[in-house]
Amino acid sequence: MDYEQKLKEIVMNDVRFISLLKAVEELHLPDSWICAGCLRNKIWDELDSISTPMNDIDVIYFDEANTSKAREKRLESQLQVFIPSEPWSVKNQARMHEKNGSTPYQSSFDGVANFPETATAVAIRITNNELEVMAPYGLQDLFSKSVRPTPHYDKTSDLHSVYLERVSQKKWDELWSHVFVER
């Protein structure tokens, strides 16, 4: 199966998700994407024919020139103007390495590659009505509903406990059917 094409089809058939992507595109941010849980949940909802609430819409971008949290909050406010009442969360990946003690990221790809789980390390954007997918670890785990740590959070890492805490708190296997969680 061509997972990238399937992901694009699912997103293209969701008017709300397309409007979110277009709102982000309107900001003209460098290396910007919608990623992580909102995208993972969309795919898993589709696979299970259910609809779970969107807890947050993770928007990432990469801009070394301005890494202030205040700018991120202003961008969230702009997105609220475009599409009110959505749970926007904007993060500049040029500063996010500090959160998990990594070396500085060089791009949004680096940020996504350092997310805790492979099924969550996925991003999508729209540019001129064309979808582009970023998946540093591929899309197999996403579509098979397999939750595994990324290399930065694997069993040999000091951050493995962070991964274990997340999978324990998220309870994905209670929300969706047939979710495999590696512990």
Give the tens place of pLDDT for each residue, 115-145.
999 999 999 999 999 999 999 999 999 999 9
Calculated CA dihedral for residues 109, 110, 116, 121, nearest 10 degrees: 10
- For strands 57-61 and 33-35, give the pairing: antiparallel
Residues forming a β-bridge with 61: 92
Residue type at position 157: S
Dihedrals φ, ψ of 25, to 5°? -60, -35
Can you tell me the distance from the alpha carbon of 64 to that of 154, in angstroms, rounded to the nearest whole number?
Answer: 28
Mean pLDDT over all residues of the chain? 96
Can you tell me the distance from the alpha carbon of 46 to that of 25, in angstroms, rounded to the nearest whole number?
Answer: 24
Residue in 77, 4, 63 with CA at minimum distance from that of residue 32: 63
Residue type at position 142: L
The yes-or-no verdict on residue 48 having pLDDT over 90 is yes
Residues forming a β-bridge with 126: 131
Q: Identify the structural domains of the chain with CATH numbers, from first to last.
A: 3-142 (3.30.460.10)
Orientation of helix 3-12 relative to helix 15-26, angle to 10°: 90
Give the tens place of pLDDT for each residue, 76-114.
999 999 999 999 999 999 999 998 788 999 999 999 999
- Contact between 10 and 43 under an 8 Å Cβ cutoff? The reply is yes
